[in-house]
Chains A and B, each alone.
Chain A
Amino acid sequence: MTRWTGATNGTTRGATTGTTTGTATGPAGRAAPLVAERLTLAYDDRVVVHDLTLEVPAGSFTVVIGPNGCGKSTLLRALARTLRPRDGHVLLHGRPIAEQRPKEVARRLALLPQSPVTPEAITVADLVARGRYPHQRVLRPWSTADAAAVGAAMAATEVADLAERPVAELSGGQRQRVWLAMALAQETDLLLLDEPTTYLDIAHAVEVMELLARLHEEGRTLVAVLHDLNQAARYATHLVALRDGRVVAQGPPAEVVTEALVEDVFGLPCRVVPDPETGTPLVVPRRPGPRPAAV
């Protein structure tokens, strides 16, 4: 890869092994609700993820990071069963996800895709209500439980005031909260998010991340793919670093986000300092050229 990789490879790998075994089950000792077992993922002939095993700790806010093309979104798609693995399988609550009924899975696992298609002319309330589909039957299409779930989801994401507005008229940040509300209306305890802040400006991105943090505090297990390392380090409870389709390191952000790892995974020389707001690791890229005297 780059010259930085070779220099730091050994130390990172060593640190990684210890962290991995330590977090096989969640902090409370509960079994991992979502497990990737020896996954090999490929598009046609191009293998993106090879023989990857990963456990999502119960109750965690797990964030997957890594450079472009490392397979993090592909991994998330496999976890959300929108991509069929070439080999290996995904276990949801201990059972292979592919063997479970699609609607049953949808009552336990929700997904916020990276770029969902907004149907023409749909209103906010109507879109959020579609999240209730897995809970409905042909002859009983709408219930008080559905109405309550939709109301709660719109309240949590603060889109209740927009209920009758067409989704197409909303700003990017509002639209993202509406799609999140739809996923919340599914009332699952697992929520997967594929780069939920990518198209948002910094204020809206922070707003969405704060919302996710609150959903996590309320007891949901979240798995997100994020681009922004500092966002990941600030909000994650469990960080997974991916490179070339392999897990390079995982564990609490403070253990994973180190200068050596960022150089190894992203090929970026940097300094890692404590975030003045939260104390979590903050990645500050170095300028190329002569190093400053005092580090």
Chain B
Amino acid sequence: MSALATRPAPADGPVRRPGHATRRRSVAVGVGALLVATAAGLAALTLGRLGLALPEVAQVLGGGGTRIQRFVVLSDRLPRVAVGALAGLALGVAGALLQSVTRNPLGSPDVIGLGSGAAAGAAAAGLVWPGAVPVPVGALIGAGIAITAVFLGSGRGFASPFRMVVVGIAVGAMALAFVETALARATREDALEVAAWIYGSLAARGWDDVLLVGAAVVLLLPAALALSRPLGLVEMGDESATALGVPPAHVRTAGVVLAVLLTAAAVAVCGPVAFVALTAPQVARRLTRAAGPGLAAAGCTGAALLVVADQVAQRAVPGTPYPVGVVTGALGGAYLAYLLVREWRRASA
């Protein structure tokens, strides 16, 4: 304690906010993820039954190419890639928001039944009572009901992630049962289209889907990013956050509402693609090694995950494309099992 009074004031020079290296790494991870997404996107534009070379794709994008080339690229492949990237981004950010609010990786939209709830709402709007409300609104209502059920059912709100998971599994199962009932009653034609809502699929996406999820991202992402620092402070406990002038309850509510909206938008265009929201923030966190919610990196990672997974799903078995949700479900399911075992050990220790 003796050297205390004599320690010099910090030297003059460029003023850097502490954590500069961490932030640079976060940016690098985000950019890297976007590059991966772009590469996978280019693969999506060139590969397929109608094989195209990159220059041909460039020609089509520049306004040239044959009619068939134009149709395949502009009406089928490009919107599919765009929906995948935007929905992946929305899910990644939604996952990071909820994981920050619950301070636990298990507090993800897909684990607590939010995605399934949105799918049930979409199925209700699309199949059971067609025309009552637009499908995206149905998805939002479904997501809202699911999060409310989880909030009330866990008894302690968002304070106990493990309870949320248990209740969420029940809510998710009921929601999926509803979706299957809706499918059983639907005509065959409808059912094919809506089957995607069980697994999550990017097949046959159009520009109206791009517009919907794109608008949601453009509107909600700035709000989420503005919430990033307060969320980081709330992670230090309610007392610390309050002492720093951040009202924890308001921040948590805002975080949950944004997560619900983003999840609903993503599910409305591609169904409950499993575990992107769970894994994207965790992968991003491992890479950035940063404190705080890491929303931007999680969003970019989510975009990369979904676009890459869609390519794997389409090309893994030649001639037999699978819904993308099958791939993310298989990968994310293994990760979820790992998390649950870890949480279980911690809870019983």
- In the complex, what's the smallest C-beta–C-beta distance from A248 to chain B, in angstroms? 26
Q: CA separation between A141 and B243, bound complex, in Å? A: 19
Selected interface stretch from A16-24, A31-39, A126-134, A264-272 = A126-134
CB contacts (< 8 Å) of B329 on chain A: these are none
If A80-B239, A119-B232 touch, does A130 touch B244 (CB 8 Å cutoff)? yes
Q: Give the contacting residue for B291; candidates A101, A119, A152, A160; CB below 8 A.
A: A119
* B18 is an interface residue with CB less than 8 A from chain A: yes
In the complex the two chains form, what is the Cα distance from A115 to B236 in whole Å?
10
Question: Which residue in chain B gives the minimum CB-CB distance to A186?
Answer: B244
Task: For residue A118, give the distance in angstroms from its CB to the closest CB of chain B.
Answer: 7
A131 contact set on B, CB distance < 8 A: 244
Partner of B243, one of A82, A115, A143, A160: A82
CB distance B1 to A123 under 8 Å? no
The reply to whether the CB of B229 lies closer than 8 angstroms to some CB of chain A is yes
Cβ-based interface call for B235 (8 A): yes
Q: How far is the CA of A222 from the CA of B125 in the complex (A)?
A: 60
Which stretch, A55-63, A106-114, A224-232, A286-294, touches the partner chain B?
A106-114
Partner of A113, one of B16, B239, B292: B239
Measured CA separation A80–B243 after assembly (Å): 7
Q: Please tell me if the beta carbons of A126 and B15 are within 8 angstroms of each other in the complex.
A: no
Interface pick from B2-10, B167-175, B262-270: B2-10
- Cβ-defined contact, A119 with B246, below 8 A: no
Cβ B17 vs Cβ A141 within 8 A: yes
Q: Which residues of A contact B292 (CB under 8 A)?
A: 119
Please, which residue of chain B has its CB at the minimum distance from the CB of A194?
A: B239
- Whether a CB of chain A sits under 8 angstroms from the CB of B238 is yes
Contact between B291 and A122, CB atoms less than 8 A apart: yes
For residue A214, which residues in chain B have a CB less than 8 angstroms away from its CB? 4
Does B347 have its Cβ within 8 Å of any Cβ on chain A?
no
Name the B residues within 8 Å of A113 (CB-CB): 237, 239-240, 243
Contacting pair A160 B7 (CB below 8 A): yes
Taken together as a complex, chains A and B put the C-alpha atoms of A117 and B285 apart, in Å, by 18
Chain A residue at minimal CB-CB distance from B292: A119
Bound form: Cα–Cα A129–B326 in Å: 44
Q: Which of B15, B245, B247 contacts A143 (CB 8 A)?
A: B15
**Within 8 Å CB of B236, what residues of A?**
116-119, 130
B253 within 8 A of A: no
Whether B9 and A152, one on each chain, are in contact in the complex, defined by CB atoms closer than 8 angstroms, is yes
Whether B245 pairs with A133 at a CB distance below 8 angstroms is yes
Within 8 A of B (CB), among A166-215: 183, 186, 194, 207, 210-211, 214
Bits for B46-87, please: 1 = Cβ < 8 Å to A, else 0. 000000000000000000000000000000000000000000
Q: Which residues of A contact B242 (CB under 8 A)?
A: 80-82, 102, 111
A192 to chain B, nearest CB (A): 8
Write out the residue numbers on chain B whose beta carbons fall within 8 Å of the beta carbon of A110.
Answer: 243
Kindly state whether residue A52 has any CB partner on chain B within 8 Å: no
Task: Indicate if the CB atoms of B235 and A119 lie closer than 8 Å.
Answer: yes
Residues of A contacting B247 with CB < 8 Å?
A: 102
CA gap between A235 and B292 in the complex, in Å: 37
Q: Is B290 in the interface zone, CB < 8 Å from A? A: yes
Interface residues contributed by chain B, number (CB under 8 Å): 34
Bound CA span A120–B232, Å: 11
**In the complex the two chains form, what is the Cα distance from A104 to B246 in whole Å?**
11
| In contact, A211 and B1 (Cβ under 8 angstroms) | yes
A130-B233, A155-B7 as given contacts; A146 in contact with B244, CB under 8 Å: no
**Are B289 and A121 interface neighbours, CB within 8 A?**
yes
The residue in chain B whose Cβ has the minimal distance to the Cβ of A143 is: B15
* Shortest Cβ distance from residue A127 to the other chain B in the assembled complex, whole angstroms: 8
Closest-by-CB residue of A relative to B232 is A119
Rounded to whole Å, the gap between the CB of B314 and the closest CB of chain A is 36
From A105, A115, A125, A160, B245 is in contact (CB under 8 Å) with A105
Contact, CB under 8 Å: B10 / A148: yes
**B291 engages A121 (CB within 8 Å):** yes
Complex-state Cα separation, A82 to B3, whole angstroms? 36
CB of B184 within 8 Å of the partner chain:
no
In the complex, B318 has a CB within 8 A of chain A: no
Task: Choose among B19, B229, B235 the residue that contacts A123 (Cβ–Cβ < 8 A).
Answer: B19
Q: How far is the CB of B103 from chain A (nearest CB, A)?
A: 8
A156 touches B4 (CB 8 A): yes
Bound form: Cα–Cα A30–B181 in Å: 73
Q: Please tell me if B160 contacts chain A, counting CB pairs below 8 Å.
A: no
Contact B290 A121 (CB under 8 A): yes
On whether the beta carbons of A142 and B240 are closer than 8 Å, the reply is no
A163 at the interface (CB under 8 A from B): yes
In the bound complex, CA of A236 to CA of B18 (Å): 35
Q: A148-B9, A210-B1 are in contact. Are A125 and B19 (CB under 8 A)?
A: yes
List 29 A–B pairs whose Cβ atoms lie within 8 Å, in order of A's numbering. A80-B239, A81-B242, A82-B238, A101-B245, A102-B242, A102-B245, A102-B247, A111-B242, A113-B239, A113-B243, A115-B237, A117-B235, A119-B232, A119-B235, A119-B291, A119-B292, A126-B18, A129-B17, A129-B18, A130-B244, A133-B244, A133-B245, A134-B244, A142-B15, A151-B9, A155-B4, A155-B7, A158-B3, A158-B7
Q: 6 smallest A-B Cβ distances: which pairs?
A: A106-B245, A151-B10, A125-B18, A111-B243, A103-B245, A122-B291
Q: Told that A113-B237, A116-B239, A148-B10 touch, could you supply 11 new A-B pairs with CB distance under 8 A?
A: A77-B239, A80-B242, A80-B243, A102-B246, A106-B243, A107-B245, A111-B239, A113-B240, A120-B291, A130-B233, A146-B15
